[in-house]
Homo-oligomer: A and B are copies of this chain.
Amino acid sequence: MGKRTEYCGKISRDLLGQEVILKGWVQKRRDLGDLIFIDLRDREGIVQIVFNPTFSKEALAIAEDVRSEYVLEVKGKVVERKEAVVNKKISTGELEVEVYDVKVLNASKTTPFYIEDGVAVSDDKRMQYRYLDLRRPEMTQNMILRHQMTKSIRHYLDDHNFIDTETPYLTKSTPEGARDYLVPSRVHPGHFYALPQSPQLFKQLLMGAGFDRYYQIVRCFRDEDLRGDRQPEFTQVDIETSFLEPEEIQSFTEELLAKVLKDTKDVELTLPFPRMGYDEAISRYGSDKPDVRFGLELVDVSDLVKDSSFKVFSGAIENGGAVKAINAKGAAGNYSRKEIDALGEFVSVYGAKGLAWLKVEDDGLKGPIAKFFKEDAEALIEKMDAKTGDLLLFVADKKSVVHDSLGALRSKLGKELELIDESIYAFMWIVDWPLLEYDEEAGRYSAAHHPFTMPKESDIGLLETDPGKVYAQAYDIVLNGYELGGGSIRIHTRDLQEKMFAALGFSKEEAEEQFGFLLEALDYGFPPHGGIALGLDRFAMLLAGKENIREVIAFPKNGKATDPLTSAPSLVSEAQLDELSIHTTKIED
């Protein structure tokens, strides 16, 4: 019949009266006897095609046997639909194609679920028949969006002197960080490669090689327990530069993100993005990735209640903790006592022992703890900027618990009270991160970002004396309450890198064993450098307006790290294991 002349979804008035050849799938078929209508679908959309004996008896006869998801090749003429049957829901809805030649390219069994958006089917079934799930227009569009994003990112970086450089996937295992996926070596029995958690060290070495500006859109691997927005493999926009200040790195990253938003969503972002210190973000939002599309900020009322006769409050402060509160404006009517109890259960997950509350009424504060606020009521009302109808929610505990629990509660309330304008893309930088975190379990410090992060110049002296006080030249980029990525200036001298390893509790031997090649590289004219990595899956998820990264990954794994389509992982032959000099100590059924 010949080449396709146009995608179904691109049939337009320009083609009126012209012959077209289309190739697509039967979305729907209506048989009126001597007249058959088929909605023909391809990746670009749907067009109605029409069969009747006037156009072709043979074609009509073939169309009679056609069923949903059959693959058709058709030749016909683009005509206008009668006004009464115009379909405004689709872009081609004013047109149809009168078919005078048709060929069935393949038949189809009845599909396990109907190919349409919003179809009610389990996630595992969708993944088992992913090739059908991806036919749904929404999913096809998600994948096209993802491609538009990477295209836009590449164009920006290509135009700004970045060199796209591939780094290895078969790398060395380093116990620092998350759990590695290992790959047994056949050639070297007992030895293993690791799949990279990120190309961090390779991109630093490329700076050592003088590449100056590197990028890669690269797969990374972490063998961690899976959550809604985690996958065993994920994709990172990985960037590294030499000779730039943090502000310069942030600045081109902003331009890059703005271009992506412009190219894919036609949204104009205002630059520069706001910047907030880590400490301030924790204090005001209880989160290092605050969603700033709404208020409900945390208010510190510790001073006000430190002498309160309500021992839960005053006691927390005595123990070095804090009391903070959220004012859910006008929400007093939204939450019954029972519903507030449920909020209390919610924050208990974050370690809070309770959620105290007050409702503001015309005649003052009401609620179980109102009696403790006789004298301070006015001061509290003023501090909380409270008005009649407001609901005040308090957590008193050690500071990390106060922040974690109120931060989570704030997010929950923001959604429940519909305070979030979903049309906004609220980007923001979180800067001035601590360099280290104290790991109470391990009894030592661990790197807040990674062991190669540069301390603030002014804090370097503290690294050996009071490491917990050292701030880092690190920055995270946050979008609508999600961490989109993070970066830092890296250490570029051996001396400082050795001090950092020591602060992390590495012996000299351990540091040499694991990172000796990096330390050696720092001896040979390593330039000052720094970069950033952006999570592509999460970014695509947010631009697609979805809540799970599986929606923007063609072939994701499920919550048990398996692929219901191919059944990976699977058992392998003894011969394969023998060749690799390994055997399994336990086999799951």
Chain A contacts to B: CB under 8 angstroms: 3-4, 7, 23-26, 41-43, 69-71, 73, 105-109, 111, 129-135, 140, 143-144, 146-147, 150-151, 154, 158, 163-173, 175, 179-195, 201-202, 205-206, 208-212, 219, 221, 223, 232-233, 235, 242-243, 248, 492-493, 517, 521, 523-528, 553-555, 557, 560-563, 565-573, 576, 578-588
5 closest Cβ pairs, A-B complex: A190-B587, A108-B525, A134-B209, A172-B568, A69-B525
B residues near A26, Cβ cutoff 8 Å: 525
Contact of A140 among B172, B211, B526, B580 (CB under 8 A): B211
B586 touches A583 (CB 8 A): no
What CA separation (Å) do A533 and B521 show in the bound complex?
A: 37
Q: Which residue on chain B has the smallest CB distance to residue A4?
A: B243
**Residue from A23, A201, A555 having most chain B Cβ neighbours under 10 A:** A555
B residues near A181, Cβ cutoff 8 Å: 170, 183, 193
What CA separation (Å) do A182 and B186 show in the bound complex?
A: 10
What CA separation (Å) do A576 and B184 show in the bound complex?
A: 12
B residues near A235, Cβ cutoff 8 Å: 166
What CA separation (Å) do A382 and B208 show in the bound complex?
A: 63
B183 touches A182 (CB 8 A): yes
What is the CB-to-nearest-CB distance from A160 to chain B, in angstroms, rounded to a whole number?
Answer: 13
Contact of A131 among B172, B209, B219 (CB under 8 A): B209
What is the CB-to-nearest-CB distance from A12 to chain B, in angstroms, rounded to a whole number?
Answer: 16
B554 touches A167 (CB 8 A): yes
B169 touches A233 (CB 8 A): yes
Given A42-B210, A211-B143, decide whether A23 and B569 contact each other with a Cβ distance below 8 A.
no
B585 touches A583 (CB 8 A): yes
A166 touches B202 (CB 8 A): no
Contact of A166 among B7, B193, B553, B562 (CB under 8 A): B553
Contact of A554 among B3, B25, B165, B561 (CB under 8 A): B165
Q: Is the interface of A mostly helix, strand, loop or mixed?
A: loop
Given A202-B555, A582-B585, decide whether A569 and B526 contact each other with a Cβ distance below 8 A.
no
**This chain: copies in complex:** 2
Q: Which residue on chain B has the smallest CB distance to residue A213?
A: B43
B residues near A154, Cβ cutoff 8 Å: 151, 154
What is the CB-to-nearest-CB distance from A210 to chain B, in angstroms, rounded to a whole number?
Answer: 5
B residues near A586, Cβ cutoff 8 Å: 189-190, 581
Q: Which residue on chain B has the smallest CB distance to residue A107?
A: B525
What CA separation (Å) do A75 and B43 show in the bound complex?
A: 55
What CA separation (Å) do A542 and B523 show in the bound complex?
A: 34
Given A169-B219, A186-B223, decide whether A150 and B164 contact each other with a Cβ distance below 8 A.
yes
B219 touches A576 (CB 8 A): no
B residues near A561, Cβ cutoff 8 Å: 185, 187-188
B190 touches A567 (CB 8 A): no
B residues near A71, Cβ cutoff 8 Å: 525-528
What CA separation (Å) do A135 and B210 show in the bound complex?
A: 6
What CA separation (Å) do A109 and B553 show in the bound complex?
A: 46
What CA separation (Å) do A568 and B211 show in the bound complex?
A: 23
What is the CB-to-nearest-CB distance from A164 to chain B, in angstroms, rounded to a whole number?
Answer: 5
**Residue from A170, A188, A583 having most chain B Cβ neighbours under 10 A:** A170
A212 touches B42 (CB 8 A): yes
B residues near A185, Cβ cutoff 8 Å: 561, 569
B583 touches A166 (CB 8 A): no
B residues near A147, Cβ cutoff 8 Å: 163-165
Contact of A565 among B135, B192, B517, B557 (CB under 8 A): B517
What CA separation (Å) do A108 and B69 show in the bound complex?
A: 66
Q: Which residue on chain B has the smallest CB distance to residue A165?
A: B554
B residues near A208, Cβ cutoff 8 Å: 131-132
What is the CB-to-nearest-CB distance from A289 to chain B, in angstroms, rounded to a whole number?
Answer: 25
B residues near A188, Cβ cutoff 8 Å: 560-562, 569, 588
What CA separation (Å) do A493 and B105 show in the bound complex?
A: 10
B residues near A524, Cβ cutoff 8 Å: 69, 108-109, 111, 129, 131-132
Contact of A209 among B140, B572, B585 (CB under 8 A): B140
